[in-house]
Amino acid sequence: MTEDSGCILITGSTGMLGRYVMGLLAGKAPGELRVITRQECDLVNPGAAYTLVKKIRPSAILHLAAETDVDLCERDPGRAGLVNHLTTDAIARAASESGAWMLYVSTSNVFGAEGKLVYNELDMPCPTNYYGRSKLLGESAIRQRLPDAHLIARAGWMIGGGPDQDHKFVGKVVKQMRAGAPELRAVPDKLGTLTAASLLAQFIISALNIRLTGTYHFCSSGVVSRFDVAQAIADIFSYQGKLTAVPSSLFPLSAPRPHSEGIETIYSNVSGIVPRPWRADLAAYLAEFE
């Protein structure tokens, strides 16, 4: 006996990306949407995740949940492996047995060790830390379980949430600038690409509607540093304080970071992804703070 056969199942609905996705799915009728909460299913329990998905037997799964704390993953690789690899594998196995299509949000952190400036979908993954490795194993599990019914969307440095929910780099910088901090420091020696969570959510819904398959990079165009982002924010908000570039060695972290985890897509014609310049995506997001 199934619980909501034919529905769309979502994990990670309360995260930054999940809130945008849920907003776009708000018009779904009862029974069409099934959200798995942390209270209902702990993602460190792959067996429980498998059993629950098999009970629901959805037609599509949006797997947005993950352990995304890079340094926690480095300190506790067992948790990283359970949440990002084994539970993803369990959900994918249940999806395969239920005939479901599955979307998995991955990360630019699967790259970096090769030392390139930017990586596209044809580059071989080369993670430098346990977070990237655990997400890469999650990707591999999905490809094995659902060879013809999966979409992997790799994101860069995610921006989103707005003034009340953004606790990441952009939100912290804006808060300090508005508080009148006389000086802000940011690192210029670690590079990546931005991903606007609101735009990624739109892509996810479009992909869901047509059951798009494959592996795609979703990000703004242009490789940037944290200092570049902070400088752009300072320009937009006319920050009068001092912005200082400092080496990343001043901020010791548990997990090693590559010099660059920048990504780009070479599949715009297939995926419909048309990247905008990173400054445009950042400015559009910062409008939410005005």
Tell whether 174 is covered by a domain: yes
**Domain range for residue 243?**
163-191+224-261+277-289
Count of CB atoms situated within 10 Å of the CB of 85: 20
**pLDDT in the model for residue 38:** 83
Percentage of residues in the chain with pLDDT exceeding 70? 98
Q: Residue 37 has what pLDDT?
A: 87
- Total domains in the fold of the chain: 2
**pLDDT tier at 42 (50, 70, 90 boundaries)?**
confident
Looking at residue 44, which CATH number applies to its domain?
A: 3.40.50.720
Residue 1 is predicted with a pLDDT of 36
Same domain, 68 and 204: yes
Average pLDDT, the chain: 95
Higher pLDDT, 40 or 197: 197
Looking at the chain, the whole-number percentage of residues with pLDDT higher than 90 is 91
Who has greater pLDDT, 38 or 217? 217
Predicted local confidence at residue 290, as pLDDT: 83
Could you tell me the pTM of the whole model?
Answer: 0.95
Residue 34 lies in a domain: yes
Q: Over 50: is that where the pLDDT of 2 sits?
A: no
Q: Per-residue pLDDT for 275 more than 60?
A: yes
